[in-house]
A = this chain, B = another copy of it.
């Protein structure tokens, strides 16, 4: 489990974001020889937006995070790694409220300005003494690098994940930096995704939420490792406004499109990095669906293919098994017509309009599937809807990580 994913990307050089300071400490939630608590302080007036798991058995952190997002402002973020605090009842909620109160007292802000995320074991209330000492240590720690913060929010992630982008807004260059963790496993927990994007741009909270919700539809909502949905998945965006631009409030504002594109780029890269660290992943798979009745329908079809164990094992085996793709398309519950359906790999059609191609040459497809980056093309032949989703293959590594040890 400690081997770095073969699909890993090196951690990029992330810029300082004015108004954002991270510090890390060791709370000792697990028997790890590393920091496990990340504290990020945000300038007064920082705008907040967030998207959360749709799992109805979500953690108190998610409940409280939704309340904070409704208010739209944040002064600090605390991320606990090693204990998800999910399914822990009132004791879990008390632990989160304790962290919020401690940081609020330090900053002189309202408790609801303090966001908390936790990832790790389910069903064990976050130990309040460890959290309190960890937060105190973080508050006293020197500023950390982005890479240290990215490592500290991780659980069994095999590499630190970050992304950045810039845009010109109102004549000023604004900067975005993001970190994410995901697809690692802490028994008995699942692959929680926690992602955070920070920018010095000034953005009104409602518009930041609109942008994050939209980009989420084509980034974090378009990735899957194993179809399972964590009780704690969270993506937050923070805009400090330190760049001094006139606050963006709608798409009509100058630079709004450029900022949206930069946010898209950061979120897409972060989402794909999660897939690149999928448990046991040996291949990175992009599935593009065209010709659907709508973009939403295309995404549903793409996720049905991406979540099919039979498709994922076929790719693991380097097998251009388009019949399994047909099956997955057909079970998606979306409009599809067997006799208009086309399936390809690596840009080569294997079947068109409901029938295998007579002159189909499997050699280039086999060569494509032997690589680490695989594409699957599905054309439904019905309309203009399209989407791309990303996943990884299903390998013995996944089984070993999830079945071959006891909690």
Most buried by B among A316, A319, A320: A319
Within 8 A of B (CB), among A294-346: 307-310, 313-314, 316-324, 326-331, 333, 336-339, 341
Partner of A55, one of B56, B121, B314, B330: B330
What DSSP secondary structure best describes chain A's contact surface?
A: loop
Total copies of this chain within the assembly: 2
A402 proximal to B (CB < 8 A): yes
The interface residues of chain B lying within 8 Å CB-to-CB of A226 are 309-310
Known: A89-B339, A307-B227, A354-B87. A327 touches B57 (CB 8 A): yes
Report if A326-B86 is in contact (Cβ < 8 Å); known contacts: A227-B309, A321-B188: yes
Query: Is residue A231 contacting chain B, with contact meaning CB distance below 8 A?
Result: yes
13 residue pairs A–B, Cβ–Cβ below 8 Å: A55-B331, A58-B338, A87-B341, A89-B339, A187-B321, A190-B324, A226-B309, A226-B310, A227-B308, A227-B309, A319-B406, A396-B396, A396-B400
Given A188-B323, A309-B226, A402-B314 in contact, is the A57-B87 Cβ separation under 8 Å? no
List chain B residues, Cβ under 8 A from A356.
Answer: 87-88, 123-124
- Enumerate chain A interface residues (CB-CB to B < 8 A): 54-58, 86-89, 91, 121-124, 187-190, 226-231, 307-310, 313-314, 316-324, 326-331, 333, 336-339, 341, 351, 354-356, 393-396, 398-400, 402-407
Assess the A338–B56 pair: CB atoms within 8 A. Answer: yes
Q: Is the CB of B327 within 8 A of A190?
A: yes
Residues A403 and B313 in contact, CB atoms below 8 Å apart: yes
Q: Nearest residue in B to A122 (C-beta to C-beta)?
A: B323
Across chains A and B, which 8 residue pairs bring their CB atoms closest together, nearest first? A122-B323, A57-B330, A313-B402, A55-B330, A317-B403, A229-B331, A313-B403, A188-B321
A407 to B324 CA separation, bound complex (whole angstroms): 12
Q: In the assembled complex, which residues on chain B have CB atoms less than 8 Å from the CB atom of A330?
A: 55-58, 229, 231
A351 lies within 8 A of B87 (CB): yes
Closest to A92 in B: B355
What separation, in Å, do the CA atoms of A323 and B314 have in the docked complex?
29
- Cβ-neighbour of A336 out of B56, B229, B331 (below 8 A): B56
